[in-house]
Amino acid sequence: MLFLGIIGTNRISHQFVQGALESGKYTLSAVFSRKQETAENFANNYTGEIDCETDLNAFLALPNLDVIYIASPNSLHFFQAKSAICADKHVIVEKPAFSNPKEIAKIVSLTKEKKVFFFEAARHIHEENFKIIKSFLAK
């Protein structure tokens, strides 16, 4: 079982958590938000003991936290992902993950150093429109 932490308490975060829980491989263990009430409101949609934090360092220091899903405003992705990786957490960052090639290069370098994984949450290759474009381009 992987312990999942969420940064960003929006609709897409709920969709991600629901999918992760349905897989049977994750348990939601922590939520980070700038406001305690927002974190608690998000967590109240799920069962189990879920830590709610407004301090990023305290959130990343939680003991039952393996994977962080980041769905905060795009401008915060790099800092939050870098912080999570430096705390030895795997990260899944909502698209677009970062603002420029230097940021992604830094993240990839850090993941190798820390021996953790980074994924961008992009599903385009699984959508019908992608298959149509791929077929069109092949012609």
The DSSP secondary structure of 48-109, one letter per residue, reads S--EEES-HHHHHT-SS--EEEE-S-GGGHHHHHHHHHHTT-EEEEESS--SSHHHHHHHHH
Give the chain's mean pLDDT. Answer: 94
Count the neighbouring beta carbons within 10 Å of the beta carbon of residue 129: 8
Write down the pLDDT at residue 125.
Answer: 67
Q: Mapped to the 3 state alphabet, what secondary structure does 45-63 carry? A: CCCCCCEEECCHHHHHCCC
Q: What pLDDT score does 85 carry?
A: 98
Q: How far is CA 139 from the centre of its chain?
A: 37
What parts of the chain have a pLDDT lower than 70? Answer: 123-126
User: Which domains can be identified in the chain, with CATH numbers?
Assistant: 2-138 (3.40.50.720)
**Tokens for 37?**
């009430």
Amino acid symbol at 53: E
Compute the half-sphere exposure of residue 105: CA atoms within 13 Å on the CB side of its CA: 3
The pTM for the full model equals 0.87
Share of the chain above pLDDT 70, in %: 97
Q: What is the DSSP letter of 115?
A: T
Question: 95-130: per-residue pLDDT in tens?
Answer: 889 999 999 999 999 999 999 999 998 766 667 777
